[in-house]
Amino acid sequence: MPRSIEGKITEKLETNVIYGADQEDKYRALPAHKTATGIAAFAFELSDEEVKQVIKNKKIYVSLLTFNNPLQPICVCVAPEYLDENVEFNDNMIKSILNKKGE
């Protein structure tokens, strides 16, 4: 299973929260960068064997626990700059929406 990255995630993002730290009996702790608007960004480092599987299959598989709630938007990418761009874009979009509501 990929190793979650703690510390520097990308050039712009660093972990500032650990999700599930108090529930490690149920879930694996997930270090992440959380913005003030609630965006969570995180990354995983693959082992050499996992990299071989990605090259072979050309796929990344995702499973999310929704607890029967609507699925939250998710961005899966392969380059750190894509994650930075996604976080910045969505953070600005949410700030814009919140500013309009406050007017």
- pLDDT tens-digit map of 3-19: 899 999 999 999 999 99
- Confidence at 1, pLDDT banded by 50, 70, 90: confident
pLDDT of the residue at 102: 72
What is the predicted pLDDT for the residue at 35?
A: 96
Q: Cα-Cα-Cα-Cα dihedral of 102, 42, 5, 24, to 10°?
A: 90
Predicted pLDDT at 14: 96
pLDDT, tens digit, for every residue of 28-70?
Answer: 899 999 999 999 999 999 999 999 999 999 999 999 889 999 9
In this prediction, residue 24 has a pLDDT band, given cuts at 50, 70 and 90, of confident
Q: Which of 63, 67, 83, 84 is nearest to 75 (CA)?
A: 83
Nearest by Cα to 41 from 95, 4, 2, 92: 4
Percentage, residues of the chain above pLDDT 90: 78
- Angle subtended at Cα 33 by Cα 28 and Cα 38, rounded to the nearest 5 degrees: 100
How confident is the model at residue 27, as a pLDDT? 85
Q: CA quadruple 30, 34, 39, 45: dihedral positive or negative?
A: negative
Phi-psi region of 59 (alpha: psi -120 to 50; beta: other; left: phi over 0): beta
Query: What residue spans define the domains of the chain?
Result: 3-102
